Amino acid sequence: MSDEDYVYDEESGEWMPASQLADRTAAPTTVEVRDAVGNVLTDGDQVTLIKDLNVKGAGQTLKRGTVIKSIRLTGDEQEIDCRYEGIKGLVLRAEFVRKR
């Protein structure tokens, strides 16, 4: 038997060696973001809007077919951060875009 300490992992409900738990928590969790048709999105992709969207606070409507360049993933599986001329801090839902 080893002298290693065992700790309780609340996520799995099991007792495990402390080193194994540290390895499990250190592994990065990646979020897979998919567009409206199921394509996987990554940072830097270009997307096209599939629906007219009213932008709150900007008093502007983004029309269907508008191309958004160089998106960034936010860590949420349904939100993407992007830039568009005249609109700062634009966050779109992945369900309204299609990978170009």
Map out the domains of the chain with their CATH numbers.
1-29 (no CATH), 33-99 (2.30.30.40)
The more confident residue out of 98 and 16 is 98
Q: Closest Cα partner for 97 from 31, 37, 32?
A: 37
- Counting every residue written for the chain, the total comes to 100
| Chain segment 5-54, per-residue pLDDT in tens | 888 888 788 888 888 877 777 656 678 899 999 999 999 999 999 999 99
**Token representation of residue 68:** 């958004």
In whole angstroms, give the CA distance from residue 60 to residue 72: 22
pTM as predicted? 0.68
The more confident residue out of 27 and 4 is 4
| Chain segment 43-89, per-residue pLDDT in tens | 999 999 999 999 988 888 999 999 999 999 988 889 999 989 888 88
pLDDT confidence of residue 1: 44
Question: Is 47 in contact with 100 (CB distance < 8 Å)?
Answer: yes
Q: What is the mean pLDDT of the chain?
A: 87
Question: Is 94 in contact with 40 (CB distance < 8 Å)?
Answer: no
